Structure 1
């Protein structure tokens, strides 16, 4: 519950902050769109990139206290932003302090979940955790738009500060024993346990081979009666052995393709999510209607996040689905710039709702597939390294893309060019993965043929 609360708060209050853009531009009229956009880029950049800082601080401070400290820092930052009339204080409070404080919670809670659940329940915990992103994406636009319309943007930020303060509740769910030292000790313990289990399995397997001639008939009878115990045990043993015996997968050239995808995807994603509110408002759509339409992205993304449970490499490689999702999102963003008839807003509302639903579905799928793609392309041994680089580049893309799009808005006096830039970035993010068709032998994917041959070998050995 602490994990899902942290995702609701971090996604709802940072990734959906674009709803404040127009009001902040009016309040800080001396600041350009690019300067205001910098605030909205620094926060998600620090949210994604605080992992390195969190890892270092965990060696000095207990994880629970880190999350609570981060919550306090973020809350103070938002409170400062709600009362300031100075741009630099706005950048410091709403951008730096808010992003860094919430980033501690977003990075530490998944670690706590990893070591709080066993192999049988961990995937369920992470499914619930990822669902929090979708819930935050639904609640954020609707709630903030209502508060701004009913009160003011300053009072709305007071509510945001109250939401970030609830991260202290998430912090209280983190075990006091979770520190960097204990995490490494748990890893060594898990590795030792797996090694011990493999030794036992090897001994048992050797003894079973010696008794093979005596037990062949009874084993055949059990197989005929549908008893799955032997097959399941062999399959679990094979999984453990595959993980330990996994060869070192070369980082290059696949790392170039994947990390290029990440930074271009980040640029496109944060540009779209920051300016989509203002773009639709410029087309004379009511703020309440705009917030409801954008909330569809978060709602439908939950379906996309859940759907990855059935996505395996058996028929279509996961990276192909991942690549296709970026190309689809590119086309969706382009469709936002198609001129629509002015018929009172009903046609626009329906079309934009459909486009946001398609965007949300592909966003949920691609976002949730990233950890699996890391394993498919680079193996378990390099998973931590590649995922850390992915988070860093996601933050870098936010810092680069959003202010650049703000400069485009100031120069061209329209959101059309920033949206075209976002669409092109999504397209590049998809096409840059095309070379994987020729380097597919370098990534880890168990084909149906390999699986069938292993199953046949196990049955023959029995």
Structure 2
């Protein structure tokens, strides 16, 4: 007898884990998504330029992505737990969990604006910090899967899984070996460029709308609508991914490209309703990307290496999140125009899709090459079982 991890239950207590992750996403990522409300307040308080103020957000984003610091204790753990509890329903489970970011963002946008007006930006941050103590409750609900035992002789299904993941099991000792996989290295490049574009729009959308002369609460409503569209995108794209109509990486390429195009077109908006339309499109497509860009890591490195892959993915992705907002802020200071921030974001996202295309081709080719080896192993197992049965009969 030997021990192994139990198969993901695809339900049961896994849905409790999903709900815990739902609140975790809301209390971490949704706060960052609404940090644009603090941008002008902090800029005016200290009398600094947009590029300087952008470092506040970029530093927070970098700390979120660096495993073991700040909010990443909760955020990365929640993503990992959901992936371990589900296989068949993994896309929809992750979409539901990540939608907590959107639901909380809808509520947080006007709430944060009210807190700033009532208690100043310093008092607002203090209250938000108190709310985030509820992450302790979310963490208490996370339970790791227990190990079980199995006979030394695997079944046919177990053999098929072991044949395809044998190499990964031997090499999970150290994370960085994954960088030797060309498909994972290219996916890291996608993560860096896409992160540089991801975090620019939420930060500059409120200042952009305010620069057009909108009242102070109208930009807050735009962020709420954006978050609602984001929620719809996550759920719909998660459902589509679960149907397996196209490969996850193909779907990711399509929605990321459309997202980049929308961001390039957003600056042509010169009134509230036009901004609202483009913000809704941005939110919907952003939700589609978020719903599948983490689960796609499993397609690249297999579930056995998912934790290592996710950690390395988040670590190196922080490069884009750290440099994107300040670069956009510098362009805004140089041109005195918030539109250039959205142009930079759109270009980064479109460039990132080129890497996803290459990753998809490499992963698809690898799977085609692995199929004959798997079937050969299964045939050998069947021959062994037949020979054993005949020997038992003779005996």
TM-score, structure 1 as length reference:
0.66
In structure 1, distance between residues paired with 2:269 and 2:229: 25
Structure 1 match to 2:320: 397
Q: Secondary structure at the match of 1:316?
A: coil
Deviations 1:211-241 (A, max 9, x none): xxxxxxxxxxxxxxxxxxxxxxxxxx3xx44
Q: Secondary structure at the match of 1:405?
A: helix
Asked whether 1:5 is paired with 2:5, we answer no
Asked whether 1:327 is paired with 2:250, we answer no
In structure 2, distance between residues paired with 1:261 and 1:316: 20
> 270, 281, 293: which one pairs with 2:210?
281
| Pairwise CA distance, 1:174 | 4.4
Structure 2 match to 1:152: 120
Call closer, same or farther: CA 1:22–1:302 in 2, change over 3 Å.
Answer: same
Structure 1 match to 2:296: 373
Call closer, same or farther: CA 1:198–1:414 in 2, change over 3 Å.
Answer: farther
Structure 1 match to 2:151: 196
| Pairwise CA distance, 1:41 | 0.9
In structure 2, distance between residues paired with 1:368 and 1:244: 28
Deviations 1:5-56 (A, max 9, x none): 2211102222321211001001111x33222211111112111222xx3xxx
Is the 1:141–1:292 contact (alpha carbons within 8 Å) kept by the matching residues of 2? yes
Structure 2 match to 1:301: 230
Structure 2 match to 1:245: 163
Identify which range, 242-251 or 378-387, moves more after superposition.
242-251
Asked whether 1:49 is paired with 2:82, we answer no
Structure 1 match to 2:194: 265
Call closer, same or farther: CA 1:25–1:318 in 2, change over 3 Å.
Answer: same
Is the 2:89–2:242 contact (alpha carbons within 8 Å) kept by the matching residues of 1? no
CA RMSD of aligned residues (A): 3.0
Is the 1:312–1:318 contact (alpha carbons within 8 Å) kept by the matching residues of 2? no
Asked whether 1:106 is paired with 2:75, we answer yes
Aligned residues: 339
| Pairwise CA distance, 1:197 | 9.1
In structure 1, distance between residues paired with 2:105 and 2:324: 21
In structure 2, distance between residues paired with 1:198 and 1:440: 30
Structure 2 match to 1:457: none
Call closer, same or farther: CA 1:314–1:13 in 2, change over 3 Å.
Answer: closer
Deviations 1:29-88 (A, max 9, x none): 1x33222211111112111222xx3xxxxxxxxxxxxxxxxxxxxxxxxxxxxxxxxxxx
Call closer, same or farther: CA 1:118–1:293 in 2, change over 3 Å.
Answer: closer
TM-score, structure 2 as length reference:
0.76
Is the 2:188–2:317 contact (alpha carbons within 8 Å) kept by the matching residues of 1? no
In structure 1, distance between residues paired with 2:229 and 2:366: 30
In structure 2, distance between residues paired with 1:120 and 1:400: 36
Deviations 1:101-157 (A, max 9, x none): 322122334455667x68799877645422212212222222112322344223322
Is the 2:92–2:242 contact (alpha carbons within 8 Å) kept by the matching residues of 1? no
In structure 2, distance between residues paired with 1:123 and 1:329: 20
Structure 1 match to 2:240: 310
Structure 2 match to 1:454: none
Is the 1:376–1:443 contact (alpha carbons within 8 Å) kept by the matching residues of 2? no
Q: Secondary structure at the match of 1:284?
A: coil
- Unpaired runs of 5+ residues, structure 2, are 1-18, 169-177, 370-395
